Amino acid sequence: MPCSTGSPASSASAAAAADGALRRPTMKPYAQVVVNVPIRRTFARTNEPPPNPFEDESAGAHTLGGGAAQFQTFHYAIPTALLDQVQVGHLVWVPFGRQELQGLVVSLDESSPVPTKPIKRTARPQPVLTPAQIELAFWLADYYVAPLSETIKLFLPPGLLYKAERGPSVRAKREDQIELCIPAAEIRSRLLQLGRANKQVQVVEALLAAPGHALSADDLRRQCDLRSDSTFDTLQKAELIEREDDQIRLLHETNDIEAYLLTARGTAKYEPILHALAAADGPMWKSDLYAQADADLSALRTLHKAGLIEMTELVRYRDPLAGRTYRRTSSPPLTDQQERVWGRIDGELFSGGEDTIAPTRFLLHGATGSGKTEIY
């Protein structure tokens, strides 16, 4: 005959525990959450409506078939500590990008189709919406083509949702420091090597390098690979060259011709920037350079790529008193009463000489505005 080792009370407790375990709902480790952030819907005719994963109410709060609103939910993992707390309709805090936002749990799932982040915490101890309200919010989103996050809000009282407060963000100010990498005397010659060189530029450069700034038309055609004299005609109309018989020569001084070449190459705008850097005692902060020359980041990057300047990002400490001059002030003259008080204090404090201060204490008496602070 079998015997029992437990008491009737312990057997009853075990039976009750087993019965409770059978009736306790299965805790699902994932939740679909509608995040409190606007999400724009997109439409594509080639996309077939997805099958409805919610075949009964136990799987989720809504039972919409093929609705697009379900694409506006996000899967999150439920931490172990919250498995027995998070329910459909709960308001929770979740990570969303770099933010932490509130969201509403609309279903619990056994698995997630994507890697998930964990829910941070619950915002309210009890669910704030019922499954019927959530189902109606999904229907509204599908029927009226509205953001699901907005239809959910229709069932929530004002002031229930709010965004996480961000504390002040403090960081050091960083700025590029610009330094000239070439001697000031080489600025123009280096700029003449940058930019675009069309046929007119090639002709002018060939004449500039020739003895006497003159060459025959045949030599220029051969050096610059010219197939017609249209380039000569253009330069002659611009009064940059003159043509006598077969000889072509420049009409202006070297400095003027170089200025034309800089403009034609598109590098004239860089010359003031480099001269401003050359005139500085050392490296310049980018904002200071912008204030002195017509510079922008694109120009600086071009010069940096050409090896003419160096750009280094550094922490720039702000000097609130920079550029300000304050006139020195002098102490106001003492009144007769202040003179008498100070004479007594001076006589006792420095009775042993100016280099020795006697350990004496004084208590100043006087009404407001009588001059005690000046004596102190």
Structure confidence by residue, pLDDT tens digits, 172-212: 889 999 999 999 999 998 998 888 888 888 888 888 888 88
pLDDT at 10: 43
Residue with tokens 């069309």: 198
What's the distance, CA 30 to chain centroid? 33
CB environment 341-372: b (16+ within 10 A), e (fewer) = beeeeeeebeeeeeeeeeeeeeeeeeeeeebe
pLDDT at 192: 87
Could you write out the DSSP letters of every residue in 124-188?
SSS-SS-HHHHHHHHHHHHHTT--HHHHHHTTS-TTS--PPPPPP-----EEEEEEE-S-GGGHH
pLDDT at 279: 93
Q: Does domain 178-315 have CATH number 3.30.300?
A: no
- pLDDT beneath 70, residues of the chain: 1-26, 40-71, 164-165
Residue of 120, 109, 102 whose CA lies nearest to 159 = 102
> Which tokens hold the place of 172?
């050091």
Dist. CA 350–CA 195, nearest whole Å: 78
Fold agreement between 25-42+49-153 and 178-315: no
Provide the CB-side half-sphere exposure for 288 (13 A, CA).
15
Structure confidence by residue, pLDDT tens digits, 286-305: 999 999 998 999 999 999 99
Rounded to two decimals, what is the model's pTM? 0.48
Q: What count of residues does the chain have?
A: 376
pLDDT at 250: 85
Domain spans, the chain: 25-42+49-153, 178-315, 336-375
> Which tokens hold the place of 302?
């071009």
Structure confidence by residue, pLDDT tens digits, 301-331: 999 999 999 999 999 988 888 888 888 888 8
pLDDT at 7: 44
pLDDT at 199: 85
Structure confidence by residue, pLDDT tens digits, 351-364: 777 777 777 888 88
Could you write out the DSSP letters of every residue in 22-49?
HHSPPPPSEEEEEESS-------TTPPP
Residue 90 exposed, middle or buried by CB count within 10 Å (0-12, 13-18, 19+): buried
Dist. CA 50–CA 38, nearest whole Å: 22
Dist. CA 275–CA 292, nearest whole Å: 10
pLDDT at 257: 86
pLDDT at 181: 94
**CATH superfamily, domain at 25-42+49-153:** PriA, 3(prime) DNA-binding domain (3.40.1440.60)
pLDDT at 283: 94
